[in-house]
A and B are shown apart, each in its own frame.
Chain A
Amino acid sequence: MNPLARVLVAELSERPRHFGELVEAHMETAWRDFLLAWGEVRAADILGRDDDGRYLIRAGAVVS
């Protein structure tokens, strides 16, 4: 995982967040770089969702 993808995973491990909250926290990052990092998080198959649509790291998910 690239460094930004790791940061995103760390933020989601802290608490569930809406995608928009993650975007807002990284507005200094170029949009394309953000989307590439998000794509890595998605591809890792570690995400879950809560009832309000927030992303979270699934219990027991292995982050490589």
Chain B
Amino acid sequence: MSHGFREFLRALEDAGELLRVKKAVDPRHLSALMAQASQATFFEQIAGYPDWRVAGALVSTRRRLAIAMGCSEAAIATRFEESIRQPIEPTLVDRAPCQDVVLTGNDVDLTRVPIPMMHVKDGGPYISATLVVSKDPEYGRNVGSYRLMYRTPRETGIDLVSPSDMRVYYQRALDRGRPLEIAVAIGVHPFELLAASYKAPIDVDELAVAGGLHGAPVELVRCRTVDLEVPAHAELVLEGELLPIGWTADEGPFGEFSHITGEVKWNPIFRIRAITHRRDPIFYVLQMPWENDWLAAPVIEAAGLQALRVASVQPVAIRAPVGGCCYWTLVASIKKRPGEGKNALLALLSVAEVKLAIVTDDDIDIDDPDQLDWAMTFRVQADQDVLIVPGARGKHIDPSVRAAAMGKGGLPTTAKLGIDATIPEGIPRSHYERLRYFAKDAVRLEDYR
């Protein structure tokens, strides 16, 4: 059986990474409190919501991502890469905890769920930890993660601006004048969220990818009011449809994963037909931007590894650092043969999302920014080791692409930058021999205290 959300919470607690908050907290203060905690947070009482508890900031660090994935921090990319090559199809069950309570008709009321107020300039309270399931008659099931902005007790906005499979599904339904049924599962294991952020081909079931990560099939249950299936162990499920109105309703701003407030977007509306949840539900607040960033890291790092291997370059380590939002930047160390510093840069920059790539040798610990700075200082000549690729596809939320100046519907481009911080060809490795202290291994400071 695959692990659920609650097993992950237990794993965090066992590792000393979960802070329990016992006093009642107003939902308007949840995010601000999470931001002050060094651990993931679990709120045992929510003011005005006696049936609910809230967990959040669960995957806000690389260490907690490693706990979620059951591996070391260094092995995150390879763990993800190996698992997605071995998908396991989900199984269907008849009864599920996520349907302990079923609310339909006049009982559908989102204000009974403790949706938090997150950022100063958000356009409303947001549901951020979503696993959105949809289906297309031709392409089959799709799973993605899309933010939902509270509008009314039965409606939310949904950000469907960026290219995605579900956007294609919605457009196809819209062309037929039909709504698109969706189901939103909240409070699922991070493996489901990782699979949702993985850009699988349109005919690949992301829940099979999640099964590969679990090493066991994800258990699904049929929804009550839509022809879809959701993870049986979810905490909360919203069933309903995207209205066939196109991109016409205001949505946002929201604190984006780029750590910047976004803009108002024009998006469809999600109308809710049913709310189902566990008897003692836990609402998961995915704390922006950190959790969104870290959940992207394995996907981007694995894409970088694959690109390096296709280029016949031998990677030693790869990181998508949080300073680049675990998305725009890749840093890799390689076992270099002549010319492979540049080959590695070309490979890493071929990853669509990556705007900055840095490659260095295997003697540099890429988790140590001082070592990386040292390599970039002494192994780089800017006229020979810097690669700029102009006019590549950009992303609106990067302010430097000046998307606002392009007008509505404009697609921005960006320049990509590669820095080859490997030892240049023709310079002996001995020129980079580090200082070593005389008699370092012969004496110990504690013997002199």
Contact = CB atoms under 8 A, between A and B. Distances in A.
Interface of A: 18-20, 23, 27, 30-32, 35-36, 38-40, 42-43, 47, 49, 52-53, 55
B250 A43 contact: no
Nearest to B115: A35
B123 A31 contact: no
A40 B111 CA distance: 12
Given A20-B122, A30-B48, A35-B125, A53 B151 contact: no
Given A35-B125, A53-B253, A18 B120 contact: yes
Contacts of B26: 31
9 contacts: A19-B122, A23-B117, A31-B26, A32-B49, A35-B110, A49-B250, A52-B121, A53-B121, A53-B261
Contacts of A42: 151-152, 155
A28 to B, nearest CB: 11
Contacts of A53: 121, 123, 252-253, 261, 263-264
List the 5 closest A-B pairs by CB distance, nearest first: A39-B152, A53-B253, A35-B111, A32-B111, A42-B151
Contacts of B120: 18, 20
Given A43-B152, A53-B252, A20 B121 contact: yes
Contacts of B111: 32, 35-36, 39
B399 to A, nearest CB: 15
B264 A31 contact: no
Interface of B: 26-28, 47-49, 110-112, 114-115, 117, 119-125, 150-153, 155, 250, 252-253, 261, 263-264
B179 to A, nearest CB: 19
Contacts of A49: 123, 250, 264
A39 B114 CA distance: 15
Contacts of A32: 48-49, 111-112
- Residue picked from A20, A38, A52, A55, most chain B C-beta under 10 Å: A20
A30 B252 CA distance: 23
Contacts of B28: 23, 27, 31
Contacts of B115: 35
A53 B261 CA distance: 10
B38 to A, nearest CB: 26
Nearest to A43: B152
Contacts of B155: 42
Contact of A31 (B48, B124, B153, B252): B48
A27 B26 CA distance: 10
Contacts of B112: 32
Most buried by B among A23, A31, A39, A55: A31
Contacts of A30: 47-48
A43 B154 CA distance: 10
A30 B119 CA distance: 19
A52 B155 CA distance: 23
Nearest to B151: A42
Given A18-B120, A19-B123, A19-B124, A39 B153 contact: yes
A35 B151 CA distance: 9
Given A23-B28, A30-B48, A53-B121, 6 more contacts: A19-B123, A19-B124, A31-B27, A39-B111, A39-B152, A53-B264
